[in-house]
Amino acid sequence: MSAPRFHIIYRITPDDSRPIEAHAKDICLEETVEIPGDCVPPAIWEAGIVGQVEAISPCPAPSPAFDVAISYRADIVNDSIPNLLNVVFGNISIRRGIKIIDIRLTADQLRAFGGPRFGIAGLRERLGAYGRPLAATAIKPLGLSVQELARLAAGYALGGLDVIKDDHGLMDQPFHPFKERVARLQEAIRNANAKTGRKTLYFPMVSGRFDQIEDQMAFAAAEGCAGALIAPLLIGPDTGFHLARKYGLAVMTHPSFTGTHFHDPEHGMTPAMLLGRLFRIFGADISVFPNAGGRFTFTPKECRDLAIAMQEPLGDVRPGFPSPAGGMSIERIDSMVAGFGHDAVFLIGGALMRHSPEPEAGARAFITGIEKAVSARKAAE
Amino acid sequence: MSAPRFHIIYRITPDDSRPIEAHAKDICLEETVEIPGDCVPPAIWEAGIVGQVEAISPCPAPSPAFDVAISYRADIVNDSIPNLLNVVFGNISIRRGIKIIDIRLTADQLRAFGGPRFGIAGLRERLGAYGRPLAATAIKPLGLSVQELARLAAGYALGGLDVIKDDHGLMDQPFHPFKERVARLQEAIRNANAKTGRKTLYFPMVSGRFDQIEDQMAFAAAEGCAGALIAPLLIGPDTGFHLARKYGLAVMTHPSFTGTHFHDPEHGMTPAMLLGRLFRIFGADISVFPNAGGRFTFTPKECRDLAIAMQEPLGDVRPGFPSPAGGMSIERIDSMVAGFGHDAVFLIGGALMRHSPEPEAGARAFITGIEKAVSARKAAE
């Protein structure tokens, strides 16, 4: 049987004394035919419908884990994000000790999912910004009037930030309804751009219910927004990617509601695979993640691996920007440049407010910080 | 400020030496304004936009945890499932040691989300089945021809099962495309019903991409299917509920891709809150879950709590059926009746295949097993 197959590497930490081969076979059956092996009809085995163990290698001692490569027929997924997630981590999400550490789709699958529409090169071209990390902030907090939110957006744009996104909690609340908010913020940024000659990009949070979200995405595009901020696990893993592509918007992904994958190092998906590899394949031009040393739990290595997953060669899929965030500050820019290099979108939110009550001043300090860090790094090379 | 508020009970296991009050305040800020407390404008505090700690109580020793009640303004959620999930467990999903153990929405929120359209009473009425658990199976495995799948469906319906669902891996694959499969299986079940005078209900798996799924749901309704099987975290937490309501279909929920919430008893949501309370509020007439003693990891207490969450009084929300599954067998019916009583949908899949190659015989044995268990229980009372 020569149907194309793709591969997932699971790090399995056995939770009982059965041999690793039995655990691997469990996954092969559970994620496809969902019946005991001796009930699978011969024709189903022969057609390669059941997952197949391709390799098993023990992790270095003293780890009790094994890295197990399992292949699945690509047409089971049929180029659908819900199908893909179901096959690679559906029912087994409810078992124990299974971590996805690598996802290797076929070249045809990568082309079908499509990856970032703009990617690093495309966004740099739109901004005319080269040779440095991009500077981004979030418009917040929840509950401000639309006028106050627009004043912040204008100030950040006048101060020279590259990317302005909504705080991801700004959805469609009665105190700042989606359409009014998006129209006024995009207008404020457009007016600021006309003054500065810059091209600050706005990514509103698009997170409506099923019956609202296409209208919201179309509205953001019609207002001239450059992209959309989406939280894939809140609105549906494929919903925002599909709609952003349909309406020509760049995509910035947010990790809200993803964190249970990362809590246990022995179960779930790694940050690199979920927020990096998969979100990039699905279409993330920029993937926001909580950087080490902020308010969250990622380790420096997890953050580096995620950044690599956004940028490494991957078939025809464009590289995207990793966007370290979550408690970052102007004082940390040097270490962020050291850690992520130039191809990253640095996202500083609350700390800009703390720096100055005037958003323009905060933005200028941020940009200056990036320029200094880049110069220092060049001088050191 | 008198804006209505809803309440979440978080069981917090502190991961550092700060007082519990500091951990609780972290959640209040993180899930709403996402800026440091001293940066929150006074008007935002006064408006009650920030989450508020309502109560803190230590868990019995030796547990280091505390149960913390936090209230949020209801209009932040604005009757949207993505908004709700973001406020109650968005960014904090990426922190440590936070378990949602109770979710108390306002009566208005419960009415807006709507709950099951049919519920236990409505499905019993459609079936004419009272005073016993319902018998359900899954059509499988993935990869069989549509003809073979339809033969199984016909046999199970002739044998008297109440509910027939697709295996959740049957999506829209080229070897059994959605529309052909759903039309032929519903036809097979309709023909069997005409012979038996029964009303076996069919729940096809509806899991298409954003651009396909409304058409699929409408097709299932037009073909006369009673309901849809949906995996909310694969297609979007609100997508399937919204569409099933729009097209008048009952909802059976599947837990695929939810399991990272349950892996760590100190983090995520409990099975009762995610698969029970929330899925019921969103519209689940039947919630499938992996019963204790099968292939998965839920404890007997977790399963009981989930069943209670589907059935306990909850404003105007109808009770729904818990559906224990995941490695159940005819031999276990007695213990399932003892554990879940009559208001449950027992789901036996692979074990029916093992019982007999003839689906009709397996179904009859299943129904007989339920009748015997119910009689034995009545005799013992």
Task: Say yes or no for a CB contact (<8 Å) between B235 and A82.
Answer: yes
Same domain assignment for residues B100 and B133: no
How sure is the predictor about B121, in pLDDT bands with cuts at 50, 70 and 90? very high
Quick one: average pLDDT of B360-366? Answer: 97
**Separation CA B73–CA B39 (nearest Å):** 20
Task: Say yes or no for a CB contact (<8 Å) between A78 and B173.
Answer: yes
Q: Which residues lie below 8 Å from residue B381, measured CB to CB, with a gap of 6+?
A: none
Q: What is the DSSP letter of B117?
A: S
Same domain assignment for residues A15 and A37: yes
Residues of A in contact with B298 (CB under 8 A): 94
Quick one: average pLDDT of B41-51? Answer: 97
Task: Say yes or no for a CB contact (<8 Å) between B143 and A75.
Answer: no
Residues of B in contact with A78 (CB under 8 A): 171-174
Q: At A291, phi and psi to the nearest 5?
A: -70, 150
Compute the nearest-CA separation of B50 from chain A (Å).
9
A363: tokens are 């933005």
Beta bridge partners of B205: B229
Q: Which of A1, A100, A251, A260 to mutate to test the interface with B (most CBs of B within 10 A)?
A: A260
pLDDT at A190: 98
pLDDT at A161: 98
**Separation CA B171–CA B166 (nearest Å):** 9
pLDDT at B178: 98
Burial class (CB in 10 A: 0-12, 13-18, 19+), B354: middle
Please state at what angle helix A210-222 crosses helix A178-196, rounded to 10 degrees. Answer: 20
Same domain assignment for residues B136 and B108: no
pLDDT at A350: 85
Same domain assignment for residues A107 and A233: no
Q: Is the pLDDT of residue B69 over 90?
A: yes
Q: Between B26, B141, B168, which is nearest A35 by CB?
A: B141
Identity of the residue numbered B58? P
Q: Between B143, B207, B261, which is nearest A82 by CB?
A: B207
The long-range contacts involving A19-27, CB below 8 angstroms and separated by at least 24 positions, are: A20/A56, A20/A58, A20/A66, A20/A68, A21/A53, A21/A56, A23/A66, A23/A68, A24/A53, A24/A56, A24/A66, A24/A68, A24/A70, A25/A53, A26/A92, A26/A95, A26/B295, A27/A51, A27/A68, A27/A70, A27/A92, A27/A98
Identity of the residue numbered B253? T
Structural domains in chain A (count): 2
Task: Say yes or no for a CB contact (<8 Å) between A257 and B354.
Answer: no
Quick one: average pLDDT of B326-333? Answer: 91
Q: Quick one: how far is CA A290 from the chain centroid? A: 11
**Separation CA B49–CA B40 (nearest Å):** 10
Choose the final residue of a domain: B113, B131, B158: B113
Q: Which of B210, B262, B299, B329 to mutate to test the interface with A (most CBs of A within 10 A)?
A: B210
Q: Which residues lie below 8 Å from residue A9, measured CB to CB, with a gap of 6+?
A: A67, A68, A69, A100, A101, A102, A103, A104
**Separation CA B93–CA A290 (nearest Å):** 12
DSSP string, A176-190: B-HHHHHHHHHHHHH
Q: How many other C-beta atoms are found inside a 10 Å radius of the C-beta of residue B62?
A: 5
Q: What is the DSSP letter of B59?
A: P
**Separation CA B10–CA B101 (nearest Å):** 6
Task: Say yes or no for a CB contact (<8 Å) between B41 and A169.
Answer: no
Residues of B in contact with A326 (CB under 8 A): 91, 94
Contact B287, B321 (CB under 8 A): yes
Task: Say yes or no for a CB contact (<8 Å) between B354 and A40.
Answer: no
Cis-peptide, bond into residue B232, ω within 30° of zero: no
CATH of the domain at A27: 3.30.70.150
Q: Between B80, B94, B263, which is nearest A296 by CB?
A: B94
Quick one: average pLDDT of B357-377? Answer: 95
Nearest 5°: the CA angle A13, A293, A157 is: 125
Same domain assignment for residues B88 and B132: no
Compute the nearest-CA separation of B96 from chain A (Å).
7
ipTM over the 0.95 cut-off:
yes
Contact A163, A200 (CB under 8 A): yes
Residues of B in contact with A74 (CB under 8 A): none
Model confidence pLDDT, tens digit, residues A290-345: 999 888 889 999 999 999 999 999 999 999 999 999 988 999 999 999 999 999 99
Task: Say yes or no for a CB contact (<8 Å) between A171 and B39.
Answer: no
Same domain assignment for residues B273 and B160: yes
Quick one: average pLDDT of B361-365? Answer: 96
Identity of the residue numbered A282? F
**Separation CA B30–CA B32 (nearest Å):** 6
Task: Say yes or no for a CB contact (<8 Å) between A90 and B210.
Answer: no
Model confidence pLDDT, tens digit, residues B167-183: 999 999 999 999 999 99
Indicate the SS3 state at residue B178: helix
Choose the final residue of a domain: A85, A111, A137: A111
Residue B197's nearest CA partner among B128, B121, B149 is B128
pLDDT at A380: 85
Q: Which of A34, A79, A109, A214 to mutate to test the interface with B (most CBs of B within 10 A)?
A: A34
Quick one: average pLDDT of B354-377? Answer: 94
Task: Say yes or no for a CB contact (<8 Å) between B210 and A242.
Answer: yes
pLDDT at A323: 98
Same domain assignment for residues A236 and A363: yes
Pairing mode, if any, of strands A5-12 and A98-104? antiparallel
Residue A279's nearest CA partner among A302, A251, A308 is A251
Residues of A in contact with B172 (CB under 8 A): 78, 80, 83
**Separation CA B162–CA B179 (nearest Å):** 23
Same domain assignment for residues B52 and B192: no
B289: tokens are 């879950």
Residue B271's nearest CA partner among B120, B103, B157 is B103
Q: Which of B5, B25, B80, B81 to mutate to test the interface with A (most CBs of A within 10 A)?
A: B80
User: pLDDT truncated to tens, each residue of chain A (381 aa)?
Assistant: 579 999 999 999 998 999 999 999 999 999 999 999 999 999 999 999 999 999 999 999 999 999 999 999 999 999 999 999 999 999 999 999 999 999 999 999 999 999 999 999 999 999 999 999 999 999 999 999 999 999 999 999 999 999 999 999 999 999 999 999 999 999 999 999 999 999 999 999 999 999 999 999 999 999 999 999 999 999 999 999 999 999 999 999 999 999 999 999 999 999 999 999 999 999 999 999 999 988 888 999 999 999 999 999 999 999 999 999 998 899 999 999 999 999 999 999 988 988 888 999 999 999 999 999 999 988 987
**Separation CA B163–CA B363 (nearest Å):** 11
Q: Is the pLDDT of residue B85 over 80?
A: yes
Task: Say yes or no for a CB contact (<8 Å) between B82 and A171.
Answer: yes
Please state at what angle helix A239-246 crosses helix A210-222, rounded to 10 degrees. Answer: 30
Q: Between A174, A209, A255, which is nearest B242 by CB?
A: A209
Q: Which residues lie below 8 Å from residue B21, measured CB to CB, with a gap of 6+?
A: B53, B56
DSSP string, B317-360: PPP-EEEEESS--GGGHHHHHHHH-SS-EEE--HHHHHH-SSHH
Nearest 5°: the CA angle A330, A336, A240 is: 95
Model confidence pLDDT, tens digit, residues B126-169: 999 999 999 999 999 999 999 999 999 999 999 999 999 999 99
N residues, chain B: 381
Q: Is the pLDDT of residue B276 over 70?
A: yes
Identity of the residue numbered A317? V
CATH of the domain at A333: 3.20.20.110
Compute the nearest-CA separation of A75 from chain B (Å).
7
Beta-carbon-side half-sphere exposure of residue A268 (alpha carbons within 13 Å): 21
**Separation CA A169–CA B77 (nearest Å):** 10
Model confidence pLDDT, tens digit, residues A211-235: 999 999 999 999 999 999 999 999 9
Task: Say yes or no for a CB contact (<8 Å) between B349 and A47.
Answer: no
Residues of A in contact with B93 (CB under 8 A): 256-260
Residues of B in contact with A239 (CB under 8 A): 210, 236, 239
Contact B136, B304 (CB under 8 A): no
Task: Name the residue range of residue A75's domain.
Answer: 5-111
Same domain assignment for residues A229 and A105: no
How sure is the predictor about B334, in pLDDT bands with cuts at 50, 70 and 90? very high
Same domain assignment for residues B362 and B248: yes
What residue of A is the nearest CA neighbor of B211? A242
Indicate the SS3 state at residue A251: strand
What residue of A is the nearest CA neighbor of B268? A260
B27: tokens are 């959640």
Task: Say yes or no for a CB contact (<8 Å) between A33 and B171.
Answer: no
Residues of A in contact with B76 (CB under 8 A): 142, 169, 173
Contact A110, A315 (CB under 8 A): yes
Same domain assignment for residues B292 and B172: yes
Residue B294's nearest CA partner among A33, A25, A94 is A94
Choose the final residue of a domain: B72, B93, B113: B113
What residue of B is the nearest CA neighbor of A291? B94
Task: Say yes or no for a CB contact (<8 Å) between B169 and A86.
Answer: yes
pLDDT at A2: 73
N residues, chain A: 381
Task: Say yes or no for a CB contact (<8 Å) between B94 and A33.
Answer: no
Between chain A and chain B, the number of residue pairs with CB atoms below 8 A apart is 283
A187: tokens are 């207008």
Residues of A in contact with B78 (CB under 8 A): 171-174
Task: Say yes or no for a CB contact (<8 Å) between B257 and A30.
Answer: no
Q: What is the DSSP letter of B92?
A: G
Same domain assignment for residues A90 and A141: no
DSSP string, A47-115: TT-S-EEEEEEEPSTT---EEEEEEEEHHHHTT-HHHHHHHHHSGGGGSSSEEEEEEE--HHHHHHH--
